[in-house]
């Protein structure tokens, strides 16, 4: 997935604010699912979500307004109720990150990830 740094995403140091990366990770994760035939929108409409339970970002280099960034997404761990996703952001390498997710229903209770979702994600490992 490729995106371009928005002006609104910069801060007064002239670089993308570190919180912007968190937004990009989410967008990349949703595109990565879409490429596997998985609509996060439909998952949410069915009452499930993949809540973020851990977020870890290792910042390597800053990036500036209007830069194009490539995001590589890899599935790091997949269990029945939990998954972890890894990210590499490159122009030159900007950051690496991992997010861990827990499947939850509308009340926030942890539930199993639907079997077809498990299968589609495992197919990409």
Mask 51-70, x = binds a copy of itself (CB under 8 A)? xxxxxxxxx--x-xxx----
* Secondary structure of 33-78 in HEC code, one letter for each residue: HHHCCCCHHHHHHCCCEEEEEEEEEEECCCCCCCCEEEEEEEEEEE
Q: Which stretch binds a copy of itself (CB under 8 A): 26-34, 68-76, 82-90, 117-125?
A: 26-34
Question: How far, in Å, CA of 62 to CA of 37, rounded?
Answer: 33
By C-beta, is 29 or 121 nearer to a copy of itself? Answer: 29
Binding region for a copy of itself (CB under 8 A): 6-8, 10-15, 17-19, 22-23, 26-27, 30, 39-41, 44, 49, 51-59, 62, 64-66, 108
């Amino acid at each position: 997935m490729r995106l371009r740094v928005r002006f609104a995403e910069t801060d007064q140091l002239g670089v993308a604010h570190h919180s912007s990366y968190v937004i990009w990770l989410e967008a990349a994760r949703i595109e990565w699912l879409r490429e596997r035939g998985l609509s996060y929108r439909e998952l949410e409409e069915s009452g499930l979500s993949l809540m973020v339970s851990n977020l870890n970002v290792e910042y390597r280099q800053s990036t500036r307004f209007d830069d194009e960034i490539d995001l590589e997404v890899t599935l790091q761990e997949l269990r029945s109720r939990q998954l972890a996703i890894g990210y590499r952001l490159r122009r030159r390498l900007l950051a690496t990150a991992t997010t861990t997710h827990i499947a939850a229903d509308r009340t926030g209770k942890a539930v199993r990830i639907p079997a077809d979702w498990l299968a589609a994600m495992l197919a990409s490992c």
